[in-house]
């Protein structure tokens, strides 16, 4: 049994909160560069150039790349041979979020109650997904999720007879209806299968994948490419002002489902596709 202290977890989570908001991933920057080279709209090219410049300034000056520094969503993989010492794991993660958002001067956006609308003033509680895995490591992934893109997301309980075409039409329709609201160019996370809530988690997990990667199943890999092509023909373009770069990527994750169901979810992510990870 390997021991990991809550002090170490708190420090790691705090650092991840800040680095995720300050440093855009190399895969996203490469996708933005490729999009700039292909974009035919002068306005779109200008916007892509500004997005890239903004990301460079954020990294250099350790400031948020977006004023919406997001809901702290974490995926935590706990090795079954790990023992957490010094306190409660959930409380340690929330304390890390609390310190990271304070020390990084990140906007606090979380309300303690959805209708009473009172801000908790420290961006907690975080939304944490725990998973028990083999081994003696603790992996922490943080993906700050902004409100604008999240608001354009959707779960739809399709009929099994809708099949692949029904799923694809749903994804394209969702992006089309979103317009400029999720700050395109977007990354589109798609979850297919599971249950009502399971498909949504699959869609959010899909956003953790590296841009440019493909689903290991050639069937779904081809679907990712087809959807990206169809979405970029919509014409919304960067920031919804027109162009052929509405999305930087479409990433699909799948899971088993009930014989009577075909759950599908779209989780929209703005161009500030933020996620960082650490293994303790």
Same domain, 127 and 206: no
Work out the mean pLDDT of the chain and round it to a whole number: 97
Is 41 a domain residue? no
Same domain, 12 and 140: yes
Is 240 a domain residue? yes
Cα end-to-end span (Å), the chain: 14
Give percent above pLDDT 70 in the chain. 100
Which pLDDT does position 26 carry in this prediction?
96
- How many CB atoms are closer than 10 A to CB 121? 12
Which pLDDT does position 182 carry in this prediction?
97
Same domain, 230 and 253: yes
Please identify, among 118, 144, 170, the residue that sits at the C-terminal boundary of a domain: 144
Please identify, among 126, 144, 162, the residue that sits at the C-terminal boundary of a domain: 144
pTM: 0.96
Q: How does pLDDT run across 250-261, given as a tens digit for each residue? A: 999 999 999 999
Same domain, 201 and 105: no
Which pLDDT does position 35 carry in this prediction?
97
Q: Averaged over 264-277, what is the pLDDT? A: 96
Same domain, 121 and 8: yes
Question: Structurally, how many domains does the chain consist of?
Answer: 2
pLDDT band at 59 (very low <50, low <70, confident <90, very high): very high
Same domain, 252 and 119: no
82 closest CA partner among 148, 180, 8: 8
Q: For residue 171, give both structure tokens.
A: 């994804």
Which pLDDT does position 55 carry in this prediction?
97
Q: Please report how many Cα atoms fall inside a 13 Å half-sphere around the Cα of residue 76, on the Cβ side.
A: 22
Is 56 a domain residue? no
Element (H, E) at 59: helix 42-61
Same domain, 176 and 224: yes
Is 198 a domain residue? yes
Same domain, 158 and 186: yes
Same domain, 8 and 104: yes
Is 164 a domain residue? yes
Q: How does pLDDT run across 18-49, given as a tens digit for each residue? A: 999 999 999 999 999 999 999 999 999 999 99
- List of residues 6+ apart from 169 with CB closer than 8 A: none
Same domain, 134 and 163: no
Range of the domain at 16: 2-20+65-144
Q: Averaged over 81-88, what is the pLDDT? A: 97
Is 39 a domain residue? no
Number of DSSP helices (H) and strands (E) in the chain, helices first: 8, 10
Strands 138-142 and 154-158: unpaired
Is 128 a domain residue? yes
Same domain, 8 and 139: yes
Is 59 a domain residue? no
Please identify, among 90, 125, 144, the residue that sits at the C-terminal boundary of a domain: 144
Which CA distances in Å does 66 have to 83, 244, 246?
36, 23, 19
Same domain, 139 and 159: no
pLDDT band at 170 (very low <50, low <70, confident <90, very high): very high
Q: How does pLDDT run across 91-146, given as a tens digit for each residue? A: 999 999 999 999 999 999 999 999 999 999 999 999 999 999 999 999 999 999 99
């Amino acid at each position: 049994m390997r021991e990991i202290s809550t002090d170490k977890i708190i420090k790691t989570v705090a650092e991840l909160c800040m680095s995720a908001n300050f440093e855009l991933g190399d895969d996203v920057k490469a996708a933005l560069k490729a999009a700039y080279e292909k974009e035919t709209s002068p306005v779109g090219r200008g916007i892509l150039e500004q997005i890239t410049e903004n990301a460079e300034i954020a990294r250099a000056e350790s400031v948020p790349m977006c004023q919406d520094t997001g809901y702290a969503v974490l995926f935590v993989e706990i090795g079954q041979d790990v023992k957490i010492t010094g306190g409660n794991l959930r409380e340690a993660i929330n304390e890390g979020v609390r310190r990271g958002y304070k020390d990084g001067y990140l906007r606090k956006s979380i309300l303690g109650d959805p209708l009473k609308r009172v801000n908790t003033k420290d961006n907690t509680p975080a939304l944490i997904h725990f998973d028990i895995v083999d081994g003696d490591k603790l992996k922490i992934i943080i993906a700050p999720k902004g409100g604008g893109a999240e608001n354009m997301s959707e779960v739809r309980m399709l009929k099994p007879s809708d099949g692949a075409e029904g799923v694809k039409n749903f994804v394209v329709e969702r992006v089309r209806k979103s317009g400029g609201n999720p700050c395109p160019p977007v990354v589109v996370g798609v979850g297919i299968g599971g249950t009502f809530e399971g498909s949504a988690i699959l869609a959010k997990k899909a956003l953790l994948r590296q841009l440019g990667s493909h689903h290991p199943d050639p069937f779904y890999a081809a679907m990712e490419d087809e959807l990206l092509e169809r979405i970029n023909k919509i014409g919304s373009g960067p920031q919804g002002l027109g162009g052929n770069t509405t999305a930087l990527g479409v990433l699909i994750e799948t899971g088993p489902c009930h014989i009577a169901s075909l759950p599908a979810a779209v989780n929209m992510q703005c161009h500030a596709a933020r996620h960082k990870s650490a293994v303790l």
